[in-house]
């Protein structure tokens, strides 16, 4: 008989690259691997083979993925490649001819088939069952939930729809079950992600699903409302400024979900937005922001922008700066446009010189820096509820509702003794910097 003592579980190495959406795919694959009785190796040497979940969104991500594959081959030799870059097989095959398998994103079954071919499935009657919340790559106290895959838009700078296909929304009951399992396992903050969160349910015609025996309509509003019943922080990312988002903001105003929204505007000039083929490009975004703030005055808005999109004139860039000065967004990320192989925008004439792009990026971030400074200095002396992420020697790093993990500034807490990651407490803000705050006891 195989006993737990003499049984040897084969170990699989796993490298996860890319955005939170790719991270969510990695968690699903890791859960599957563990559920079948394999162990996750901590280094190349112990791994029977290595899976690399790649990102192929921009050229620097492609390079990072190719380097990770190369490192795995050098250190282990048996490598399965999956994820976004796997959709561009020719890019990988050009550099490597000795991979065990290449699959695209969300190809969980193909990845497991390749694993079974090279490392037979363990036969172990004593396998510990995978916990209901699955395997997670994030700290214990927060978790990402991906509610749909793919996208129905055709933004000219993006190749995600060609890699991941059209929008496919997950059944609402399945999302709610995942959320409930995460909360039961101790998660205090759920972060909802997808390529286009506002479009949730469009493809399934908002048909009702079931959770705990009750029907729930598969749309953004009902998803948010039901998630709010779980009694934890719920934060939404990648929301496009469609009219239906007003309902979500009302839920924020009522205290049901965090008054924080990540809206990737990417630009403000109507001509550039049209050339980018952005969703909701005809909306008056300043008016919409004003309307949202009227419904929910404490709303924090995060966005990202691209400067130097092909054909962007000085006037169009100035229009964007003016938009930022008026919109006074709380958090802003900015990227210089760069061609992505296969993207339609590569063919637009009038590519902007790189020194102009660099100057525009610096100018935009300078404007945003003073907006952020002012907004954060207004918080000094206020009391904020925070969640602790990390404990350092002299400070703990924490976040309030206004900070999403990994991308926004943080709140440094003095005297971290006795605090643990995941703790929630009220603190008094003592001082501010450009993007971060410092706090002490209430």
| Residue with smaller CB distance to ligand SF4, 154 or 326 | 154
Residue 115 token pair: 């694993």
Q: Does 196 bind ligand SF4 (CB under 6 A)?
A: yes
142 backbone φψ class: left, alpha, beta (φ>0; ψ -120 to 50): beta
Which residue in the set 30, 158, 329, 364 belongs to the binding site for ligand SF4 (CB under 6 A)?
A: 158
User: Does residue 430 contact residue 440 with C-beta atoms inside 8 Å?
Assistant: yes
By CB under 6 A, which span of 116-124, 154-162, 201-209, 423-431 interacts with ligand SF4?
A: 154-162
Q: Report the residue number, 69 or 160, with the smaller CB distance to ligand SF4.
A: 160
CA 415 to chain centre: 31
Q: Which is nearer to ligand SF4, 340 or 386 (CB)?
A: 340
Q: Which of residues 239-298 bind ligand SF4 (CB under 6 A)?
A: 279
Closer residue to ligand SF4 in complex, CB, 157/260: 157
CB hemisphere CA count around 213 (13 angstroms): 0
Q: What number of other Cβ atoms are within 10 A of residue 77's Cβ? A: 13
Among 160, 179, 272, 404, binds ligand SF4 (CB under 6 A): 160
CB of 245 within 8 A of CB of 198? yes
Name the minimum Å distance from CB 86 to ligand SF4. Answer: 17
Considering the complex, state which of residue 96 and residue 335 has its C-beta at the smaller distance from ligand SF4: 335
- 84 vs 224 by CB, closer to ligand SF4: 84
Torsions phi, psi for 53 (to 5 deg): -90, 110
Instruction: Please state the closest distance from residue 415 (CB atom) to ligand SF4, in A.
Output: 42
Residue nearer to ligand SF4 on the CB measure, 2 or 407: 407
* Largest distance between two CA atoms of the chain: 77
Cα distance between residue 234 and residue 212, in whole Å: 20
Under rule CB under 6 A, residue 106 binds ligand SF4 = no
Give the HSE-up count for residue 159: Cα atoms under 13 Å, Cβ half-sphere. 20
Shortest separation between residue 117's beta carbon and ligand SF4, angstroms = 33
The token pair that represents 114 in the structure block: 């390749």
The C-alpha torsion from 292 through 295 and 299 to 302, rounded to 10°, is -10
Q: Where are the alpha helices (DSSP H) in 230-353?
A: 245-253, 270-276, 285-295, 314-327
Provide the 8-state DSSP code for 22: H
Distance CA 159, CA 177 (A): 31
Which residue in the set 195, 218, 303, 403 belongs to the binding site for ligand SF4 (CB under 6 A)? Answer: 195
Shortest distance, position 122 Cβ to ligand SF4, whole Å = 38
251-282 as b/e, with b when 16 or more CB fall inside 10 Å?
bbeeebbbbbbbbbbbbbbeebbebbebbbbe
Task: Mark the segment that binds ligand SF4 (CB under 6 A) among 38-46, 155-163, 362-370, 380-388.
Answer: 155-163
User: Nearer to ligand SF4 by C-beta: 147 or 216?
Assistant: 147
By beta-carbon proximity to ligand SF4, the closer residue of 196 and 219 is 196
From CA 24, how far away is CA 17, in angstroms rounded? 11
Least distance to ligand SF4, CB of residue 146, Å: 13
CA 403 to CA 80: how far, in whole Å?
Answer: 36
Minimal distance, residue 264 CB to ligand SF4, in Å: 7
CA dist., res. 430 & res. 383, Å (int): 10
**Total of chain residues touching ligand SF4, rule CB under 6 A:** 10
Minimum CB separation from ligand SF4 for residue 158, in Å? 3
- Give me 345's structure tokens: 């925008």
161 forms part of the interface with ligand SF4 (CB under 6 A): yes
Q: Does 331 bind ligand SF4 (CB under 6 A)?
A: no
Judged by CB under 6 A, which stretch of 156-164, 202-210, 297-305, 393-401 contacts ligand SF4?
156-164
Q: How far is the CB of 141 from ligand SF4 (least distance, A)?
A: 28
CB of 38 to ligand SF4, least distance (A): 32
CB 422 within 8 A of CB 140: yes
Considering the rule CB under 6 A, would residue 27 count as an interface residue with ligand SF4? no
| CB closer to ligand SF4, 162 vs 326 | 162
Q: Which is nearer to ligand SF4, 11 or 237 (CB)?
A: 237
Positions in 123-152 near ligand SF4 (CB under 6 A): 151
- CA angle centred on 137, ends 134 and 138, rounded to 5°: 105
Nearest-5° Cα angle at 148, 235 to 121: 110
Q: Which residues bind ligand SF4 (CB under 6 A)?
A: 151, 153-155, 158, 160-161, 195-196, 279
């Amino acid at each position: 008989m195989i006993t737990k003592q003499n049984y040897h579980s084969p170990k699989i190495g796993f490298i996860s690259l890319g955005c939170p959406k790719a991270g969510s795919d990695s968690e699903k694959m890791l859960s599957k691997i563990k559920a079948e009785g394999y162990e996750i190796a901590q280094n190349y040497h112990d791994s029977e083979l290595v899976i690399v979940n790649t990102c192929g969104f921009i050229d620097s991500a492609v390079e990072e993925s190719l380097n990770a594959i190369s490192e795995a081959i050098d250190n282990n030799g048996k490598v399965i490649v999956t994820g976004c870059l796997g959709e561009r097989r020719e890019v990988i095959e050009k550099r490597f001819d000795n991979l065990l398998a290449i699959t695209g994103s969300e190809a969980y079954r193909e990845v497991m088939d390749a694993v079974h071919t090279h490392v037979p499935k363990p036969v172990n009657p004593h396998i510990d069952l995978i916990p209901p919340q699955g395997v997670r790559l994030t700290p214990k106290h927060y978790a990402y939930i991906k509610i749909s895959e793919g996208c129905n838009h055709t933004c000219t700078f993006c190749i995600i729809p060609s890699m991941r296909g059209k929008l496919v929304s997950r059944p609402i009951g399945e999302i709610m079950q995942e959320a409930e399992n995460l909360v039961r396992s101790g998660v205090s903050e759920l972060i909802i992600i997808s390529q286009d969160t506002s479009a949730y349910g469009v493809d399934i015609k908002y048909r009702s699903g079931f959770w705990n025996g009750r029907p729930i309509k598969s749309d953004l509003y009902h998803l948010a409302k039901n998630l709010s019943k779980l009694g934890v922080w719920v934060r939404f990312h990648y929301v496009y400024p469609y009219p239906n988002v007003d309902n979500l903001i009302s839920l924020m105003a009522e205290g049901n979900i965090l008054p924080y929204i990540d809206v990737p505007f990417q630009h403000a000039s109507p001509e550039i937005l049209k050339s980018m083929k952005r969703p909701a490009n005809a909306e008056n975004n300043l008016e919409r922001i004003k309307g949202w703030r009227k419904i929910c005055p404490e709303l924090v808005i995060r966005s990202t922008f691209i400067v130097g999109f092909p054909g962007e004139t000085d006037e169009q860039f100035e229009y964007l700066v003016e938009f930022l000065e008026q919109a006074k967004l709380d958090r802003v990320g900015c990227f210089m446009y760069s061609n992505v192989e296969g993207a339609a925008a590569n063919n637009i004439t009038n590519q902007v010189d790189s020194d102009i792009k660099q100057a525009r990026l610096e100018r935009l971030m300078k404007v945003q820096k003073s907006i952020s400074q002012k907004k954060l200095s207004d918080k000094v002396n206020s009391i904020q509820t925070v969640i602790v992420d990390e404990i350092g020697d002299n400070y703990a790093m924490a976040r309030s509702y206004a900070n999403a993990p990994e991308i926004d500034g943080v709140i440094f807490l003095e005297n971290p003794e006795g605090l643990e990651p995941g703790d929630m407490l009220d603190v008094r803000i003592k001082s501010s910097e450009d993007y971060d705050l410092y706090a002490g006891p209430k």
